[in-house]
Structure formats: structure tokens, C-alpha cells
Amino acid sequence: MSIPLGGVCEPGTTRLNKTGGWRTFRPVYDYDKCIKCKLCELLCPDMAVLPRDDGFFEFDYDYCKGCGICANECPTEAIDMVLEEK
Ligand code: SF4
Ligand code: SF4
């Protein structure tokens, strides 16, 4: 039996793995507190913070793993982490 030396990963395959299914807590915006500083978008490790046309942001819950980094780093506490209900 021959064993291959290495594997080959096709680009873009992480799109198929909807990591939002791992989430225990879900981030939720309070737009009244948001100052549109973009920190949540910049710091999200999963690129799950999406800009909207009005300058605010929304979460892509297909890929947000609920790590809470965005909520921890938001300077105005405009993001709450709430228990996921499934
Ligand atoms: S980090 Fe907070 S204040 Fe800044 S854009 Fe995100 S939600 Fe708004
Ligand atoms: S909870 Fe984590 S993965 Fe989800 S949007 Fe915030 S920083 Fe990104």
C-alpha cells in the first residue's frame, strides 16, 4: 500500500463548513449604542461581521462561532452575548 506524502486542500472549502453550528452564545447588536467604529468587523476571527449600507453591521450566523471577541472589544458595549436557543 502506498501512502501519499501530503494532502491537497482546495481553496474556499471553509465556506462549506458552517461553523455557526458550534455556537453556545450568540452576539446581538444594540444599534442605539453603536458608534460605527468598525472594531467588531476588524477583530472578528471568522469574518462573520458584515457591513451594511447604513454604516452599521450585522452578524453572519452561519459562520459566527460565538467566541465573544466582538462583544469584549466593543468600546460602547453595543454587543450582548445571549444564550443560543436551538
Ligand atoms: S465595535 Fe461596537 S461600536 Fe464599534 S462598530 Fe462594532 S458594535 Fe459598533
Ligand atoms: S462572536 Fe466571535 S465569531 Fe461571532 S461575530 Fe463576534 S468575534 Fe466574530
For cell 453550528, what's the residue? Answer: 21
pLDDT at 73 over 80: yes
Q: Give the Å distance between the CA of 26 and the centre of ligand 1.
A: 16
Q: Cell 453556545 belongs to which residue?
A: 24
pTM summary value: 0.87
Give per-residue pLDDT as tens, 40-58.
999 999 999 999 999 999 9
Residue ID of nearest Cα to ligand 1 atom 4: 37
Strand-pair category, 25-29 with 49-51: unpaired
Ligand 1: residues whose CB is within 6 Å? 29, 34-40, 57, 74-76, 78-79
Q: Which domains are present in the chain?
A: 19-83 (3.30.70.20)
Alpha helices in 1-86 (DSSP H): 39-43, 69-73
Counting other chains too, the contacts that 10-18 makes at CB distance below 8 Å and 24 or more residues apart are 18/62, 18/63
**Per-residue model confidence (pLDDT) at position 49:** 98
Q: How far is residue 51's CA from residue 37's CA, in Å, rounded to a whole number?
A: 11
What confidence category does residue 76 fall into, taking pLDDT thresholds of 50, 70 and 90?
A: very high
Is the model's pLDDT at 83 over the cut of 80?
Answer: yes
